[in-house]
Amino acid sequence: MNQSEVLKLSNEELKEQLVEQKMKYNELKMSHAVSPLENPIQIRSLRRSIARIVTEITNRESK
């Protein structure tokens, strides 16, 4: 998820996306622990997407 996509979402949508992204991240980590993923960079991109969402939520709450 790009920063521009994150900025377009409402607060509720951001929180929903955060939950979904965290679930996907945990699933990928578990499956990678069992057997190596074909594309392990997916884990990194999900982690960065989660960070973008959390940062935007924090910025909106601080205003």
Decide if pLDDT at 1 tops 90: no
| 40, amino acid identity | P
Per-residue model confidence as pLDDT tens digits over 26-59: 999 999 999 999 999 999 999 999 999 999 999 9
CATH dotted code for 3-62:
1.10.287
Rounded to an integer, the average pLDDT of 19-27 is 98
pTM of the predicted model as reported, rounded to 2 decimal places: 0.92
Domain extents in the chain: 3-62
Cα–Cα distances in angstroms (integers) from residue 13 to residues 24, 30, 39, 60, 63, in the given order: 16, 26, 28, 13, 18
